[in-house]
Amino acid sequence: MNFEPFELERLLSDWEQTVEYNFAESGVYPVKLGELLHMSGLEMEEFLETPLNYPEVNGEYSLREKIAEFYDGANLENVLVTVGASEANYILANTILKKGDEIAVMQPTYMQFSGAAKNLGVKVNSFSLDKGNDWALDRQELIDAVNPKTKIISLVNPNNPTGKILSKEEMEAVVSIARKFDVWLLADEVYSGAERASVEETPSFYGSYEKVIVVNGLSKAYGLPGLRIGWVVAPEYIIKELWKRHEYTTVSSSMLGNRLASLALKPDVRRTLIARTRHLVDHGFETLQTYLNEIPGVFSVVPPMASALSFTSYNLPINSTDLVHKLRREKGILLVPGDCFGLDGHLRISSALPQEYLRDGLSRMNEVVKELAP
Ligand SMILES: Cc1ncc(COP(=O)(O)O)c(C=O)c1O
């Protein structure tokens, strides 16, 4: 059986625990357990009383209640809590798609959903965010990517790796094309809340059309990837179908994850977490820009509207995967090559990190870049 690995996650699994400077993660510098408990005001004694049992397998009632509140018109039956957004995307592919179907996928993007679809024998058609036009949605390509065999339009908004947020008009265009062809619209919104400080919070696609499915979780905007909490919000009959697959894959997320997620989503704690994320995203990008500008004529980046990520193009005579491994071997830095997104000549650089760490790693990166620069 030919099962394609998830190239980006494989790179992280192989190297992220051993490099000195990890700029390949997609989230912000993670929150510590003590910080989260402190923000929430929960006493340690009370926390230690948590029973290490299974939670409700579809997610604790109180957690689903908090999640549903974020989505106009959603109630508890529209929510399934999963082990990260990854489980959500994976069981969605296995629920909605079968061999011979087609999907339309934004390009560049996080390739989990399209990889899972290909492994099911699904044909993947893509539509672009246009690099030459500040990553604007190419509406004609989207129309061309949809046909009678298409089951889903899949997008990530805000986008990984570009940090692009679709405008109101672009969102309306996507919805109207999905409606016209009567296909599902899958919006992975894990980066919403991680906008740069000057940018408004990203609205959800939920409720804009009856066939919208939204995926989100705590790994990116909340800085809590180790909780492994994600969720799907969808029509109830889809949640019931997903639940069947959830029982086969993970049964449930963890009790600790559920309890801590409920704390993170309390309005005052959420506000503090999001402010922390926006601060890291903003300052990280400013520092990154300083280092990218240090060597004239090499790097160019459309400032990300959200996320810790900058999808930076470079003008150096080396392939992106080779460059990433050269930086790893010679300087102990890990970045993600544009090759992982089907766009050579780019590096995805994560910068929502402590300043000293960021500066040290980026100055090492520039030592190699100076050697290679024309
Ligand atoms: C768009 C997108 N969706 C899902 C995930 C996986 O998130 P989680 O840690 O919640 O499984 C990632 C991680 O990089 C991502 O970028």
pLDDT in tens, the chain (374 residues): 689 899 899 999 999 999 999 999 999 999 999 999 999 999 899 999 999 999 999 999 999 999 999 999 999 999 999 999 999 999 999 999 999 999 999 999 999 999 999 999 999 999 999 999 999 999 999 999 999 999 999 999 999 999 999 999 999 999 999 999 999 999 999 999 999 977 789 999 999 999 999 999 999 999 999 999 999 999 999 999 999 999 999 999 999 999 999 999 999 999 999 999 999 999 999 999 999 999 999 999 999 999 999 999 999 999 999 999 999 999 999 999 999 999 999 999 999 999 999 999 999 999 999 999 98
Which of 214, 241, 266 marks a domain boundary? 266
Residue nearest to atom 13 of ligand 1 (CA): 26
> Which of 266, 282, 300 lies at the terminal end of a domain, its last residue?
266
* Residue 11, in any domain of the structure: yes
The residue whose C-alpha atom lies closest to atom 7 belonging to ligand 1 is: 85
The answer to whether the beta carbons of residues 225 and 36 sit under 8 Å apart is: no
Tell me which residues have their CB closer than 6 angstroms to ligand 1: 26, 84-86, 110, 156, 160, 188, 190, 217, 219, 225, 230
Local structure of 37: helix, strand or coil:
helix
Omega before 235 cis (within 30°)? no
Residues 142 and 72 in one domain: yes
12 near 225, Cβ under 8 Å?
no
Q: Could you give the number of structural domains in the chain?
A: 2
Could you give the C-alpha distances from 244 to 95, 236, 250, in angstroms and in order? 9, 13, 11
Distance CA 174, CA 169 (A): 9
Which strands, in side-by-side order, build the sheet including 79-83?
A: 79-83, 229-233, 212-217, 184-188, 150-156, 102-107, 123-130, 136-137
Most informative mutation of 6, 160, 229 for ligand 1 (most atoms within 8 A of CB): 160
Q: Which atom of ligand 1 is nearest to the CA of 27?
A: 14
Report d(CA 190, CA 165) in Å as an integer: 12
42 lies in some domain = no
User: Both 103 and 244 in a single domain?
Assistant: yes
**Ligand 1: residue whose CA is nearest its atom 14:** 26
- Under 8 Å between Cβ of 13 and 265: no
Mutate to test the pocket of ligand 1, among 7, 154, 219, 340 (most ligand atoms within 8 A of CB): 219
CA–CA gap between residue 91 and residue 100 (Å, rounded): 18
Handedness of CA 253, 278, 69, 49 (dihedral sign): positive
Burial state string for 264-277 with b = 16 or more CB within 10 A and e = fewer than 16: bbeeebbebbbebb
CATH code for the domain of 238? 3.40.640.10
Q: Are 163 and 142 in contact (CB under 8 A)?
A: no
Query: Which helix (H) or strand (E) is 372 found in, with range?
Result: helix 355-372
The dihedrals phi and psi of 192, each to the nearest 5 degrees, come to -70, 140
Residues 172 and 206: beta-carbon distance below 8 Å = no
Q: Looking at the structure, tell me whether residues 297 and 157 fall in a common domain.
A: no
End residue of a domain, out of 266, 298, 319: 266
Which atom in ligand 1 lies closest to the alpha carbon of residue 191? 1
Q: Are residues 137 and 12 in the same domain?
A: no
CA of 131 to the centre of ligand 1 (A): 23
At 288, which CATH number?
3.90.1150.10
DSSP H or E stretch at residue 350? strand 346-350
What is the position in ligand 1's atom list of the atom closest to the CA of 8?
Answer: 14
Q: Which of 155, 190, 191, 228 for a ligand 1 pocket mutation test, highest count of atoms within 8 Å of Cβ?
A: 190
Q: Do 238 and 295 fall within a single domain?
A: no
Q: Which range of residues forms the domain containing residue 326?
A: 7-32+270-369
Q: Hey, CA dihedral for 164, 167, 170, 174, is it positive or negative?
A: positive
Element (H, E) at 54: none
- Same domain for 294 and 350? yes
Can you tell me which atom of ligand 1 is nearest the CA of 156?
Answer: 1
Residue 190 CA, ligand 1 centroid: distance in Å: 7
Distance of CA 175 to the CA centre of its chain: 21
Q: At residue 84, what is the residue type? A: G
